[in-house]
Amino acid sequence: MSDSIVYLNGAFMPIDEARVPVLDRGFIFGDGVYEVIPVYGKRLFRLDEHLDRLANSLDATRIPNPYPESEWKKNLSQIVMKHQFEDQSVYVQVTRGVAKRDHAFPETITPTVFMMSNPLQVIDIDTFNKGVSAITLDDIRWQYCNIKAITLLPNILLKQTAVDEGAQEAILVRDGEVTEGSASNIFIVIDGVIKTPPKSSRLLPGITRDLIVELAANNHINCVESNFSRTELSAADEVWLTSSTKEVLPIVKLNDEIIGDGKPGPISRKMYEIFQVYKAQLRQNED
């Protein structure tokens, strides 16, 4: 097995030695929340934004935030420094903790905190140039998709349906409107204008999504946060996904239809390039 070092409840240890009791509510109920934070050149990407979203997920699920921001930052930078690879993907999970099985919250309980880091498999230019295929599926998830909950069974089933059909992602549609991917946010381009659904309880407020909206504005590229239908998605000139691990990943085939001319379009390429420049700057920042 791996000798990777992980963090569990205040201590660093080899992953093979990390143990969580079977009565942990994360294991029993999926009662917990998580974050995935990319690291470029050993620097945590948009850390404040990730910690804000974690705090929001904890608030929404009424799990007490186990640490002040300064302690999160200290622990996170330690986990990064304990791994030699420059680019990492740090996984953070907080569950409500260990208690006798009962749906209602126990009166006193201490959250379980787990963190691990893996090498980040970045989307290279070849993958970008090829693009990926996706299928559309009904969004069968719950009403609080803004919470980054570990309870991911619907997302897993949706993603597996896509994989079974030879596609990389499932694009979800609720009441005729496109929400996001099973593990990513979505952008389309119609007549030169970028569109992404506005933040709501129907989708995860992606950190990469927010950055793309911000970078588009900074570069005077027209981008609107507005809902669009399944029909508009099919008619789009360009479509791409964003996430901490996918960065900006074009979809060139949707169900059996080709998007645009079957290659990543010029605005997707521009946003990918702007994103790469942003990353390169992050690597060079002084600590």
Q: Is 204 in the site for ligand PDD (CB under 6 A)?
A: yes
Residue 223: CA count within 13 A, CB half-sphere: 23
Site string for ligand PDD, 159-188 (x = CB under 6 A): ---------------------x--xxx---
At residue 57, φ and ψ (nearest 5 deg) are -65, -40
- Angle subtended at Cα 137 by Cα 216 and Cα 212, rounded to the nearest 5 degrees: 10
Q: Which position among 117, 168, 196, 244 is part of the footprint of ligand PDD (CB under 6 A)?
A: 244
Site string for ligand PDD, 224-243 (x = CB under 6 A): ------------------xx
Nearer CB in complex with ligand PDD: 168/244: 244
User: Which residue in 148, 159, 246, 253 is the catalytic one?
Assistant: 148
Q: Is the dihedral of CA 280, 116, 201, 96 positive or negative?
A: negative
DSSP 97-129: -B-SS-SSPPSS---EEEEEEEE-----HHHHH
Nearer CB in complex with ligand PDD: 196/242: 242
Tokens representing 90? 């740090």
Cα–Cα distance measured from residue 89 to residue 208, given in angstroms and rounded to the nearest whole number: 14
Nearer CB in complex with ligand PDD: 61/208: 208
State yes or no: is 159 an active-site residue: no
Q: Which position among 33, 36, 51, 79 is part of the footprint of ligand PDD (CB under 6 A)?
A: 36
DSSP 210-253: HHHHHHHHHTT--EEE---BHHHHHH-SEEEEEETTTEEEEEEE
Nearer CB in complex with ligand PDD: 113/171: 171
Q: Is 245 in the site for ligand PDD (CB under 6 A)?
A: yes
Binding positions for ligand PDD, rule: CB under 6 A:
36, 155, 180, 183-185, 204, 206-209, 242-245
Q: Catalytic residue numbers?
A: 148
